[in-house]
Amino acid sequence: MEHNSSNFIRTIIKEDLESGKRDHVVTRFPPEPNGYLHIGHAKSIVINFGLADDFKGKTHLRFDDTNPLKEDQEYVDAIKEDVQWLGYEWEELRFASDYFEEMYDRAVLLIKKGKAYVDDLTADQIREYRGTLTEPGKESPYRNRAAEENLDLFERMRKGEFANGEKVLRAKIDMASPNINLRDPVLYRVSHASHHNTGDKWCIYPMYAFAHPLEDAIEGVTHSLCTTEFEDQRPLYNWVVEQCEMKHQPQQIEFGRLNLSNTVMSKRKLKQLVDEGIVDGWDDPRLPTISGLRRKGYTPAAIREFVKETGVSKGSAVVDEAMLEHFAREDLKLTAPRTMGILKPLKIVITNYPEGQVEWLDAEINPENPEMGMRKIPFSREIYVEQEDFMENPPKKYFRLFPGNEVRLKHAYFIKCEEVIKDDNGEVMELRCTYDPETKSGTGFTGRKVKGTIHWVDAKHALPAEFRLYEPLISDTEEEADETAGKTFLDYVNQNSLEIVQGFIEPNMENIEPHDKFQFFRHGYFNVDPKHTTKEKPVFNRIVSLKSSFKLK
């Protein structure tokens, strides 16, 4: 696997190993199985697996499954698939829910030490008592319950004697702390819900802030890498590890989130798009999910390279989608076969070409990679070109087909537009052209020049195909979308984000398989869609168009 370039986390790990603070490295990637992974998660995956790999350490895939209502086996399976597809192997597969018993015991220990208490305040009251950034919080009237009583109540919480929300277990830290996270955070809540892993065994579940440090400590994680929104929770993280008397002390280090322009990243919003049928499942090619990017045609290498290019720092930035696209082009340039496809067909009859004759023309599969060899393209009397390559009344500097003009057919001959055939409504149905046999491609013809080269497919031999063209899903970035004015992100969904067109491809593409990738002349890179492709008709997702204004710094 490629190595990560230098960054501040790498420096910390290096120093820890050199100073003897650590003699090995264990990291973890800890997704909650409440949705599919997205490109932001890829960043965390690349950082965690990459760093451990660089220091000959190990990485756990740990499902942070402490919230039964939102979690599901479907997500567990999808996450495993995506991590592997990205090219990473976890050393151990763990579930936070496997530690519920130990977490419960640690909570009991806190109660015995007078460091936790059962509170009867409602969620609203707890919020109210918490205070603000400028005002200290207020102590709960239940804060000074005796340890005995707390132990009894906590046990009865576990036994199911209380309804959801009736009681919680809270840490007893400091209601006046300037860090709000330390104002007696909730450690356990009652939730009568079935869990995907533990079934109905539990009706109390640990909160993230309590569970996460314990999970890391139990697993011997040395460097617990998370995003910067958890920075203020670090003192609580350390408090939990210390007060619960965990043998192993993990170190939390925060890095900046990765955000992408013109899309949504939060799993809540992604789920809403899926549930409301606005997109075609979690793997819709318009989504920034790993499975969506895969279906669109991104390769693991392109995603990894992109993520690495975004770097590791404390700051979180919105990265332009164009940068991700840059890596797709770089990745496919040398490997994707070139081919011709007509997305919006216009028929041409070449009137002076002998009826019944077929020529098989030679073309390189990839001029940038000659080792890929040659392909054969049929040419005969009737062909399809793009509708947009003809204009009856062209503006200046339009060098493609118009009455009387001559163009080059890629890999074939010069043709000249002689006649325009229209239907009763005046719509152009067909063009009549002539060709010049002298101008055959590859024969070194220099007699005259033409300014336009267009692509085409032979009408009789061409195979039907569907093309799906994408635009950004969100017409503004998530942050910029003005949700204060009673709008939601759904108001910013781009209604033109998917265009489906029916066209034709070269006949040598008969045996293509889902996820095969091609560069269609002038149209860009495409991936064979695994979901909608049938034996009769392949469906192509456009990954990226050919040109971009994006330049890597």
Which parts of this chain interact with ligand ATP (CB under 6 A)? 30-32, 40-41, 43-44, 226-227, 257-259, 265-267
Is 38 a known ligand-binding residue?
yes
- The reply, when asked if residue 248 is annotated as ligand binding, is no
CB of 408 to ligand ATP, least distance (A): 47
Structure token pair of residue 420: 């325009």
3-state SS class at 3:
coil
Question: Could you say which of 32, 155, 364, 418 is catalytic?
Answer: 32
Is 211 assigned to a binding site?
no
CB neighbour burial string for 320-359, b if at least 16 within 10 angstroms, e if fewer = ebebbbbbbbebbeeebbbbbbbbebbebbbeebeeeeee
163 or 317, CB closer to ligand ATP? 317
| φ and ψ at residue 270, rounded to 5 degrees | -60, -45
Helix axis angle for 100-112 and 147-159, nearest 10°, is: 160
| Interatomic CA distance for residues 210 and 188, integer angstroms | 8
User: Concatenated DSSP letters for 264-332?
Assistant: ---HHHHHHHHHTTSSSSTT-TTS-BHHHHHHHT--HHHHHHHHHHT---S--EEEPHHHHHHHHHHHH
Is 432 catalytic? The answer is: no
- The rounded Cα 275 to chain-centroid distance in angstroms is 18
149 or 231, CB closer to ligand ATP? 231
Nearest to 375 by CA among 388, 384, 366: 366
Residues that bind Mg ion (CB under 5 A): 32
Which has the closest alpha carbon to 202: 123, 315, 356, 99? 99
Taking the complex as a whole, the smallest distance from the CB of residue 96 to ligand ATP amounts, in Å, to: 11
Measured distance CA(46)–CA(82) in Å, rounded:
12
Nearer to Mg ion, 31 or 285 (CB): 31
* 68 has binding-site annotation: no
Q: Least distance to ligand ATP from the beta carbon of 337, Å?
A: 34
3-state SS assignment for residue 252:
strand
Q: How far is the CB of 19 from Mg ion (least distance, A)?
A: 32
Q: Report the partner that residue 226 touches, choosing among ligand ATP, Mg ion, none (CB closer than 5 to 8 A by kind).
A: ligand ATP
Q: Determine if residue 529 is labeled as part of a ligand binding site.
A: no
Residue nearest to Mg ion (CB): 32
429 is in an annotated binding site: no
User: CA-to-CA distance for 196 and 95, rounded, in angstroms?
Assistant: 11
- Local structure of residue 507 (DSSP, 8 states): G
Query: CA 383, CA 484: separation in Å to the nearest integer?
Result: 54
Q: Residue 227's binding partner, choosing from ligand ATP, Mg ion, none, with beta-carbon cut-off 5 to 8 A by kind? A: ligand ATP
Phi, psi of 200 (to 5 degrees): -105, 20
CB-count burial class (<10 Å; 0-12, 13-18, 19+) for 240: buried
Is 515 annotated in some ligand binding site?
no
Q: Minimal distance in Å, beta carbon 490 to ligand ATP?
A: 17
Which token pair is 26? 């264990």
143, interface contact from ligand ATP, Mg ion, none, CB < 5-8 Å by kind: none
What, of ligand ATP, Mg ion, none, does residue 44 touch, CB below 5 to 8 Å by kind? Answer: ligand ATP
- DSSP conformational letter for 511: T
Per-residue DSSP letter, 158: H
Q: How many CA atoms lie within 13 A of 267 on its CB side?
A: 15
Of 43 and 145, nearer to ligand ATP (C-beta) is 43
CB of 329 to ligand ATP, least distance (A): 24
* Contact partner at residue 257 from Mg ion, ligand ATP, none, CB < 5 to 8 Å by partner kind: ligand ATP
Angle at 361 between CA 357 and CA 367, to 5 degrees: 165
* Cβ atoms 458, 380 nearer than 8 A: yes
Is 267 annotated as belonging to a binding site?
Answer: yes
298 labelled as ligand-binding? no
Q: How far is the CB of 227 from ligand ATP (least distance, A)?
A: 4
| Nearer Cβ to Mg ion (80/347) | 80
Catalytically annotated residue among 257, 269, 432, 440: 257
Listed residue (6, 46, 37, 14) closest to 223, CA to CA: 14
Minimum CB distance to Mg ion smaller for 210 or for 456: 210
Residue number, nearest CB to ligand ATP: 40
Known binder of ligand: residue 278?
no
Tell me which residue has tokens 């996270």: 181
Question: Least Å distance between CB 67 and ligand ATP?
Answer: 10
Single out the residue of 531, 532, 528 nearest to residue 542, CA to CA: 528
Q: CA angle at residue 287 from 285 to 288, to 5 degrees? A: 115
Report the residue number, 44 or 339, with the smaller CB distance to ligand ATP: 44
Nearer to ligand ATP, 32 or 91 (CB): 32
Give which of Mg ion, ligand ATP, none residue 409 binds (C-beta under 5 to 8 Å, depending on kind): none
8-state DSSP, 38: B
How near is the Cβ of 60 to ligand ATP at its closest, in Å?
Answer: 12
- 257 is annotated as an active-site residue: yes
Active site residue 189: no
In terms of DSSP H, where are the helices of 131-194?
Answer: 147-159
From the candidates 267, 294, 329, 542, give the one annotated as an active-site residue. 267
How far, in Å, are 114, 159, 184 from residue 146 at the CA level? 8, 20, 16
Among Mg ion, ligand ATP, none, residue 66 binds (CB under 5-8 Å by kind)? none
192 appears as a binding residue in the annotation:
no
Which residue lies nearer to ligand ATP by CB, 311 or 514?
311
What residues are labeled active site?
A: 32, 257, 267
Cite the annotated binding site by residue number.
Answer: 32-34, 38-44, 64, 208, 227, 257-258, 265-267
Cite the annotated binding site for L-glutamine by residue number.
Answer: 64, 208
Cite the annotated binding site for ATP by residue number.
Answer: 32-34, 38-44, 227, 257-258, 265-267
